């Protein structure tokens, strides 16, 4: 007999993985080269991360609280990266130079670490539920 899939868990897992992969795609590349880091990918990573955060709000378990915490950290890091990008592009006299790009990518790296922790928790939780 085939077990029915829980659509809520599928959507939840999808957004956690999509947030992590978009963030990874933005993060990869020469840390100081703006051509290696697309602003639209950063924006997509931020939006998907915020959606993942909203999906985590309903879980009242201890693991749910850790999921929410990791997601909030990722959101804050990506939001800060976006703000630095906006400042560099529209306010700073130097523009989007290698130093500003390195700051943006470093903030994205912090968010990526939070995303990886969230994915590890998701996989661990899934394995434990099977037993």
Confirm whether 3 is domain-assigned: no
Confirm whether 1 is domain-assigned: no
Tell me the CB-side half-sphere exposure of residue 93, using CA atoms within 13 A. 0
Confirm whether 24 is domain-assigned: yes
pLDDT in tens, 18-53: 999 999 999 999 999 999 999 999 999 999 999 999
Domain of residue 115, residue span = 9-130
* CB 107, CB 78: distance < 8 Å: yes
Confirm whether 50 is domain-assigned: yes
Q: Comparing C-alpha atoms, which of 4, 1, 5 is closest to residue 13?
A: 5
**pLDDT category of residue 128 using cuts at 50, 70 and 90:** confident
Confirm whether 31 is domain-assigned: yes
Helix axes 39-56, 62-90, angle to 10 degrees: 150
The backbone torsions φ and ψ at residue 80, rounded to the nearest 5 degrees and listed phi first, read: -65, -40
**pLDDT category of residue 123 using cuts at 50, 70 and 90:** very high
Confirm whether 52 is domain-assigned: yes
Residue 1: per-residue pLDDT:
43
Confirm whether 47 is domain-assigned: yes
- How many domains does one find in the chain? 1
Which residues are CB-contacts of 113 (< 8 A; sequence separation ≥ 6)?
none
> Tokens at residue 119, please?
């994915």
Confirm whether 4 is domain-assigned: no
**pLDDT category of residue 4 using cuts at 50, 70 and 90:** low
Which residues are CB-contacts of 87 (< 8 A; sequence separation ≥ 6)?
100
pLDDT in tens, 65-99: 999 999 999 999 999 999 999 999 999 999 999 99
What is the pTM assigned to this prediction?
Answer: 0.90
Measure the CA–CA gap between 35 and 97, rounded to whole angstroms.
11
């Amino acid at each position: 007999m085939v077990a029915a899939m829980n659509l809520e868990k599928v959507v939840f897992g999808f957004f956690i993985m999509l947030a992590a992969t978009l963030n990874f795609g933005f993060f990869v590349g020469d840390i100081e080269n703006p051509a290696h880091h697309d602003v639209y990918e950063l924006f997509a990573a931020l939006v998907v991360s915020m959606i993942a955060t909203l999906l985590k709000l309903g879980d009242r378990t201890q693991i749910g609280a850790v999921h929410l915490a990791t997601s909030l950290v990722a959101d804050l890091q990506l939001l800060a990266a976006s703000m630095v990008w906006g400042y560099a592009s529209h306010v700073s006299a130097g523009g989007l130079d290698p130093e500003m790009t390195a700051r943006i990518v470093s903030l994205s790296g912090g968010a990526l670490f939070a995303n990886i922790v969230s994915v590890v928790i998701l996989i661990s939780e899934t394995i434990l539920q099977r037993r």
